[in-house]
Amino acid sequence: MTQQLTGAATASGTRTRWWRDAVIYQVYVRSFADSDGDGIGDLRGIEERLPYLAELGADAVWLTPFYASPQADGGYDVADYRVVDPLFGTLADAESLLGAAHALGLRVIVDVVPNHTSDRHVWFRDALAGGPARERYHFRPGTGADGGLPPNDWQSVFGGPAWTRVPDGSWYLHLFAPEQPDLNWENQEVRAEFDAILRFWLELGGGGVDGFRIDVAHGMVKAAGLPDIGTPEQVRMIGSQTLPFFDQDGVHEIHRGWRELLDSYAGERIGVAEAWAPSAERLALYVRPDELHQAFNFQFLRCPWDAPAMRTVVDESLAATASVGAPTTWVLSNHDVVRHVTRYGGGTTGLRRARAAALLMLALPGSAYLYQGEELGLPEVTDLPDELREDPSFFRSSGQEGLRDGCRVPIPWAEDGPSYGFGPGAGWLPQPDGWGECSVRAQTGNPGSTLELYREALALRRRLAGLGDGPMHWLDAPAGVLAFARPGFVCTVNTLSAAVELPAPGRPLLSTSAPDISGESVRIPGDSCTWWAI
């Protein structure tokens, strides 16, 4: 296990800081494996496939929300935080999954969604009925002569106003869909309830969960008085500038409290921020020593396939996290973005670059997140019929935005079958013809396959104790090439489409396209990455 190789024990001898270099595999529950044939992935399906994840070489699994929910936003609209939605199974299934994962040496992180509840949550029902739970949300009178205009100019991330009017004439805030009313984190009952929810999952049977991925960790606190932004360009600015509802200093106090709570449990349970901060420096604030353990590095995910741009992101990310002593994280895809094969150009070029980017990511210091199916080299599905789409932002933006269904298509496990092994019947979204060629079964044992590349890379990463958490330094390289050294190791990435010649840095260990070594020099194919032993 990685933690045995590279973790640093503390005075008690028990803490291993496993998260600093962990490879964490994201399971989008609805689309991973369907055990009961209803077309929707479920907890039992995941449990059956845990050996696959252990054998792939993941250290931990992150499960997207599987709680009771009307599914207005793929489960990020939670109606009951302590209940498993019948679509996905039962609480007993969750306990069984946790026990099975732990027996295989896999940790399990689950999502917590604290910025908003579902509009079907008992609190919001009470709020609409004028009950005391109204104080736990943001209700305001409207503006304009008859209060018919929203209280301020904030726009929903999914498009349209961030406010919806209710029958008594007042408005409530929802930074996402109207079915996701924002909670008021100034309210002490909200804080107490989420502490209790965290404890519930930490103490569940099967050893409890090993941590939480905190949804919208940057949005729970809003600027006092909910001030106008004053510009219609607001939504475009998310992640590039501070807005009165994102990245407010007040969120840090909540995260510090959660860190204390996590630390009060044995077993190094972690908190991971899904925080869209305007800069690497602002993001680093979420991972100060007394705050969360990790934050997703979306700057890396957003970076184009371009050597200078990638180098800048790597440098900025490492510098920012080093300033607070935290590990950097790396991520290329998740359930909210176009899969990186497609982002990097699609087709064979996109796949070559995606494979190279994966080796680059896994050679960098820190922890890496994999999104289900990237180890199969899956592209985005771009031709889903509109009537099958479920992404709420698709509907709120007249189809111009929010095409997140294309990365959520059920993944293929077998060459054939009604859903290529995803389940006994068809999946909730149609898979492209020929999807079976990308399946786990088709790629297993094929030495040139993307799946075997990932398996080998993860196995090597474990074996080479200096990878993961530790130092790196850049080496001289021709334009378009990135080269860096880790202890006993060099990684070269050619981002150009043409081959490049350079002095051979050492003995090749693993590559996405074989380098051509002749004497002291090597020709590195275009769009490729090679790991070298030195």
Nearer to ligand NOJ, 85 or 469 (CB): 85
d(CA 339, CA 354): 9
| Cα 400 from chain centroid (whole Å) | 23
Unique residue bearing structure tokens 């679509």? 87
Give first-to-last CA distance, the chain, whole Å: 24
Nearer to ligand NOJ, 335 or 486 (CB): 335
* Nearest by Cα to 417 from 441, 401, 383: 441
Pairing state of beta strands 107-112 and 60-63? parallel
Residue from 42, 73, 374, 375 that binds ligand NOJ (CB under 6 A)? 73
Q: Give Cβ neighbours of residue 56 (< 8 Å, ≥ 6 apart).
A: 25, 375, 454, 455, 458
Near ligand NOJ in 208-247, by CB under 6 A:
215-216
d(CA 194, CA 111): 13
176 binds ligand NOJ (CB under 6 A): yes
Task: Return left, alpha or beta for 446; rule: phi > 0 is left, psi -120 to 50 is alpha, else beta.
Answer: beta
394 three-class SS: helix
Nearer to ligand NOJ, 73 or 375 (CB): 73
Closest approach of Cβ 336 to ligand NOJ, in Å?
Answer: 5
Where does 113-210 show beta strands of DSSP type E? 139-140, 163-165, 171-173
d(CA 465, CA 185): 42
Closest approach of Cβ 404 to ligand NOJ, in Å?
Answer: 7
Q: Which of 274, 316, 374, 380 is catalytic?
A: 274
Please say whether the beta carbons of 223 and 121 come within 8 A. no
Closest approach of Cβ 181 to ligand NOJ, in Å?
Answer: 12
Signed CA dihedral, 222, 224, 227, 233: sign only:
negative
Near ligand NOJ in 438-497, by CB under 6 A:
none
371 binds ligand NOJ (CB under 6 A): no
# residues near ligand NOJ by CB under 6 A: 10
Residue from 126, 336, 415, 452 that binds ligand NOJ (CB under 6 A)? 336
Number of helices (H) and strands (E), helices first, in the chain? 14, 21
209 three-class SS: coil
User: In the annotation, is 36 catalytic?
Assistant: no
**To which H or E segment does residue 442 belong?**
helix 440-443
Nearer to ligand NOJ, 108 or 482 (CB): 108
Nearer to ligand NOJ, 163 or 484 (CB): 163
Site map for ligand NOJ, 268-287, x if CB under 6 A? ------x-------------
Closest approach of Cβ 239 to ligand NOJ, in Å?
Answer: 12
Closest approach of Cβ 275 to ligand NOJ, in Å?
Answer: 10
Report which residue's Cβ sits closest to ligand NOJ.
76
Near ligand NOJ in 104-133, by CB under 6 A:
113
Q: Which stretch binds ligand NOJ (CB under 6 A): 70-78, 247-255, 275-283, 302-310?
A: 70-78
Closest approach of Cβ 480 to ligand NOJ, in Å?
Answer: 33
Q: Which stretch binds ligand NOJ (CB under 6 A): 68-76, 100-108, 137-145, 428-436?
A: 68-76
Nearer to ligand NOJ, 216 or 320 (CB): 216
Q: Which stretch binds ligand NOJ (CB under 6 A): 69-77, 238-246, 369-377, 463-471?
A: 69-77
Closest approach of Cβ 410 to ligand NOJ, in Å?
Answer: 17
* Nearest by Cα to 248 from 175, 161, 172, 303: 175
Closest approach of Cβ 48 to ligand NOJ, in Å?
Answer: 25
Unique residue bearing structure tokens 């960098």? 364
Distances (CA, A) of 201 to 46, 126, 425: 18, 25, 32
Nearer to ligand NOJ, 72 or 133 (CB): 72
Closest approach of Cβ 321 to ligand NOJ, in Å?
Answer: 21
Residue type, 68: A
**To which H or E segment does residue 456 belong?**
helix 450-463
* Nearest by Cα to 273 from 407, 111, 117: 111
Q: Which stretch binds ligand NOJ (CB under 6 A): 71-79, 379-387, 495-503, 516-524?
A: 71-79
d(CA 488, CA 506): 10
Residue from 25, 28, 67, 76 that binds ligand NOJ (CB under 6 A)? 76
d(CA 371, CA 308): 25
One DSSP character per residue, 132-143 reads: GGGGGB-EE--B
354 binds ligand NOJ (CB under 6 A): no
Nearer to ligand NOJ, 111 or 268 (CB): 111
Q: Give Cβ neighbours of residue 525 (< 8 Å, ≥ 6 apart).
A: 494, 499, 513, 514, 515, 516
d(CA 341, CA 517): 28
Q: What are phi and psi of 214, to 5 degrees?
A: -95, 110
Nearer to ligand NOJ, 368 or 453 (CB): 368
Nearer to ligand NOJ, 31 or 35 (CB): 31
Closest approach of Cβ 337 to ligand NOJ, in Å?
Answer: 9
Q: Which of 215, 268, 391, 527 is catalytic?
A: 215
User: In the annotation, is 179 catalytic?
Assistant: no
* Residues known to be catalytic: 215, 274
Binding site for ligand NOJ (CB under 6 A): 73-74, 76, 113, 176, 215-216, 274, 335-336
